């Protein structure tokens, strides 16, 4: 912006901002920065410490949020690829996979609640849905277990 297009207020605001920026450079020594904080009634060491703790906390939160997002994305990808896999399985293969999943300890006691009838009596479509649900449930249980372990650590 040229000088003519600015009001006095804008010029002054720009001047204030420009002069204030010097404190963000080596033009002000650490001692001078501390003195400015003391002059305003603050404790430079305590203020610096609070800031460092805030950053530590924020960086930790960022790391955790990245991990959560990655887990979610992995779960979504896994679910999509599982569904694609299931479409290619024959009735025999589906029955075998369900039998395998039933042996998974984390799913014991839960599998029975899916359907009242036996897998052998279900249609191929129902078998696919059952296996997909079992896999998803298994993934969720595993993720929860891992979270519980990492919390304990």
Partner 1 sequence: MSPSGKGPTPIDLEKVDWPDVIKRLTVFAMKRLGSRGSLADAEDLAGQAIRQFIDPEYASWDREKEPDLLTHLGSILNGVLNNSLRRKAVEVERPLETPEAGRVAADDPTAQRRIIAREDAARAIRLLSERIKKDDLVESVLLLELDGIDRPSEQATQLDRPIAEVYKARRRLADHREAVRRQLAAESTDVKEVIN
Tell me how far CA of residue 80 lies from CA of 85, 135, 136, 146, in angstroms: 9, 12, 11, 22
Smallest separation, CB 144 to partner 1 (Å): 25
Return the ∠ at Cα 16 (arms to 14 and 22), rounded to 5°.
Answer: 110
- What is the C-alpha separation between 33 and 39, in angstroms, rounded? 10
By CB under 8 A, is residue 37 in contact with partner 1? yes
Distance of alpha carbon 46 from alpha carbon 119, whole angstroms: 66
Q: Total residues contacting partner 1 (rule CB under 8 A)?
A: 46
- Tell me, residue by residue from 41 to 70, as one string, x for binding to partner 1 by CB under 8 A and - for no binding: xx-xx-xxxxxx-xx--xx--x--xx----
Nearer to partner 1, 33 or 129 (CB): 33
Asked whether 48 and 38 are in contact (CB, 8 A), the reply is: no
Site string for partner 1, 14-33 (x = CB under 8 A): xxxxxxxxxxxx-xx-x--x
List interacting residues with partner 1 (CB under 8 A): 1-3, 7-9, 11-25, 27-28, 30, 33-34, 36-37, 40-42, 44-45, 47-52, 54-55, 58-59, 62, 65-66
């Amino acid at each position: 912006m040229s000088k003519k297009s600015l009001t006095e207020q804008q010029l002054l605001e720009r001047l204030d901002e420009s002069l204030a920026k010097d404190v963000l450079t080596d033009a002000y020594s650490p001692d001078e920065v501390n003195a400015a904080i003391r002059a305003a009634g603050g404790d430079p060491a305590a203020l610096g410490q609070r800031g460092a703790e805030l950053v530590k906390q924020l960086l930790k939160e960022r790391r955790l949020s990245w991990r959560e997002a990655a887990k979610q994305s992995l779960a979504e990808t896994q679910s999509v690829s599982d569904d694609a896999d299931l479409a290619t399985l024959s009735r025999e293969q589906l029955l075998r996979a369900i039998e395998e999943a039933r042996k998974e300890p984390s799913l014991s006691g839960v599998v029975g609640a899916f359907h009242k009838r036996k897998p052998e009596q279900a249609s191929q479509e129902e078998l696919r849905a059952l296996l997909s649900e079992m896999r998803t449930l298994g993934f969720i249980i595993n993720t929860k277990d891992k979270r519980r372990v990492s919390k304990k650590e």
